[in-house]
Structure 1
């Protein structure tokens, strides 16, 4: 069995010259027993992923595999083509149908929240997109991993200061790719990516145990 990942930069593998910046998919393999094929890439929308990576992903999907699908960060920047209740969910629906046609299992994920604090509370930044995914998952009978809720809780639990360590904040001269420094509350430091990956693995394990159509694999988690 293989896990296949479709998503944007918050899911993508790290680029060697950009470490410690990474998406959570780059560390999922630490927490699952089976192979992980990560097709996610920076800037991806449902539209660009379908055009550039979806067919190669599907070509590798075997019966019984699981495909985790997470978009929204970039789709919300194209509200006419990829409206939450329009092109965005239509494309997600098509992805789920394609996965099922391979006798494989789809799992939808809402987007990790951005670390935008207003006092001690996180400001939601994805509009209707998370609710659209939640509703689509219910309509299609697809398992959902709600990373919007999970990350909002995580950041607020840590607080404005400690939660900063989950993200890529570099002082001038600290990283060669960003010599002027970087203040990024969207993209994870590997510390944050590993925490989200561990949570995704736990969620997948719970889904597998709850669904008789998915194998209970007893995934071992670190930390």
Structure 2
């Protein structure tokens, strides 16, 4: 069984020339026993993923029983024709139909949040896009992993200063890939990518009902 990933740069594999910038899909294989096939690419929208043949390529390698994790939104929100409840939702609906028609399981993910604090408060940067995914998952009975809610919790829990380590913030001269330095609050460092990948993997465990037949230790170890 294979887990296939469709998405943008926040999911995509690392490029050596951009290290340590990477997507969470790069590290998912550390936390699942399945093979992982990552077709996510930087700059992708749901529309460009179709137009460039990437969705067809994903489907060609899909087999019954496989899982397809789908996370877009970062770039869709820049395209008027891909508004949250319009083109974006229609493309996601099409993805779900295609996956189900091949006997595989689709999983929709809300967009991971950007790390943008203002006056100590974490801003919401995706507008209606996360809720459009939640609504579609509910209406179409599709598995959902709410990466937006998780990452918002994570950044707020760590706080503005500590959460910076999850992203690519480098001073001038520290990295050959970023000689002038960089302060990127959208793309993950390896630490950030690992954190999200672990969350996605554990969420998949829940969806796939992993561990439900194991003995419940709590009833023996915990006293009222």
User: How many equivalent residue pairs?
Assistant: 213
Rg larger in structure? 2
What's the counterpart of residue 54 of structure 1?
55
Q: What value does the CA root-mean-square deviation take over the aligned residues? A: 1.6
* 1:108 positional shift: 0.1
- Between the aligned partners of 1:11 and 1:137, the Cα distance in structure 2 is 20
5 Å matches for 1:133-212? 133-209=133-209
Residues 120, 156 of structure 1: 8 Å contact kept: no
- Between the aligned partners of 1:105 and 1:167, the Cα distance in structure 2 is 31
**2:18 aligns to what SS in structure 1?**
coil
* 1:176 positional shift: 2.0
* 1:177 positional shift: 2.5
What's the counterpart of residue 3 of structure 2?
3
What's the counterpart of residue 221 of structure 1?
none
What's the counterpart of residue 37 of structure 1?
37
What's the counterpart of residue 76 of structure 2?
75
**1:17 aligns to what SS in structure 2?**
helix
TM-score, normalized by length of structure 2?
0.92
- Between the aligned partners of 1:45 and 1:189, the Cα distance in structure 2 is 22
* 1:118 positional shift: 2.2
- Between the aligned partners of 2:120 and 2:145, the Cα distance in structure 1 is 24
Q: Deviations over 1:155-175 (max 9, x none)?
A: 000001100000000111112
TM-score, normalized by length of structure 1?
0.92
List structure 1 runs of 4+ shifted beyond 4 angstroms.
Answer: none
What's the counterpart of residue 221 of structure 2?
none
- Between the aligned partners of 2:119 and 2:13, the Cα distance in structure 1 is 32
What's the counterpart of residue 103 of structure 1?
103
Q: Deviations over 1:88-129 (max 9, x none)?
A: 000000000000000000000000000011233210000000
Gaps of 5+ in 2: 215-224
- Between the aligned partners of 1:205 and 1:119, the Cα distance in structure 2 is 37
Gaps of 5+ in 1: 219-223
